[in-house]
């Protein structure tokens, strides 16, 4: 995203920014072992929230990006923070690719601000997100039996279409 010039002052209001989140997409990512479902929410004011779920509907990764900062939690690495950077595509003029540059150690102030934004949002799984940002628990801190119980394989007796329709119906009911 190229730098934008604004004619008026911007007042940072995390409550207003978070309450303007709208779901932009729902995607299915097919992997060898199972399908992963992702949801993307965006606000008009430089806030993006990304969620990834496994087939058992466990939240396995969450990312809150705001004003170039990012706060991430995932079940493997736990808490991470960083910045969103852009690099110009060398093959196409005026085309940029975004990527994350992670901090060596998670920045507590970025995590706190992400928690504030999530807390003001209307995302249905926000309490789980807040818990993940608070505890930072990952697989290294879980007992093996708890990992298998929560993330163990699920029988694949439904088609991808049936799973997708079922999840979309459930999530639409949660968001009402």
* Whether 22 contacts 49, CB under 8 Å: no
Task: Note whether residue 9 is domain-resident.
Answer: no
**Other CB atoms within 10 A of residue 69 CB:** 17
Task: Note whether residue 1 is domain-resident.
Answer: no
Task: Note whether residue 47 is domain-resident.
Answer: yes
Residue 71: predicted pLDDT = 97
Task: Note whether residue 31 is domain-resident.
Answer: yes
- Three-class secondary structure of residue 36 per DSSP: strand
Query: Total domain count for the chain?
Result: 1
Task: Note whether residue 87 is domain-resident.
Answer: yes
Helix (H) or strand (E) run with residue 148 in it = helix 144-151
Taking the model in full, what pTM does it have?
Answer: 0.77
Task: Note whether residue 149 is domain-resident.
Answer: yes
Task: Note whether residue 3 is domain-resident.
Answer: no
Task: Determine the Cα–Cα distance for residues 54 and 35; give it in Å rounded to an integer.
Answer: 7
Tens digits of pLDDT across the chain (176 residues): 445 555 676 778 899 999 999 999 999 988 887 889 999 999 988 899 999 999 889 999 999 999 999 999 999 999 999 999 988 877 877 788 888 999 999 999 999 999 999 999 999 899 999 999 999 888 888 888 887 877 776 555 566 666 666 767 776 776 66
- Three-class secondary structure of residue 87 per DSSP: strand
By residue range, what is the domain housing residue 46? Answer: 14-175
Task: Note whether residue 8 is domain-resident.
Answer: no
Q: What is the pLDDT of residues 100-129, one digit of tens each?
A: 999 999 999 999 999 999 999 999 899 999
């Amino acid at each position: 995203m190229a730098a934008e010039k604004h004619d008026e002052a911007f007042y940072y209001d995390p409550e207003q920014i978070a309450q303007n989140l709208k779901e932009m997409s729902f995607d299915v990512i097919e992997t060898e072992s199972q399908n992963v479902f992702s949801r993307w929410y965006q606000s008009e004011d430089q806030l993006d929230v990304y969620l990834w779920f496994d087939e058992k509907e466990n939240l396995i990764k969450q990312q809150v990006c705001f004003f170039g900062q990012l706060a991430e939690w995932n079940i493997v690495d736990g808490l991470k923070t960083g910045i969103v950077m852009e690099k110009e595509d060398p093959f196409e003029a005026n085309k940029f690719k975004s990527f994350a540059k992670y901090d060596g150690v998670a920045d507590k102030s970025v995590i706190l601000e992400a928690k504030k934004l999530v807390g003001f949002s209307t995302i249905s799984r926000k309490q789980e997100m807040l818990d993940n940002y608070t505890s930072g628990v990952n697989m290294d801190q879980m007992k093996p039996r708890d990992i298998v119980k929560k993330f163990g394989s699920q029988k694949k007796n439904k088609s991808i279409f049936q799973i997708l329709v079922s999840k979309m119906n459930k999530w639409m009911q949660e968001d009402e």
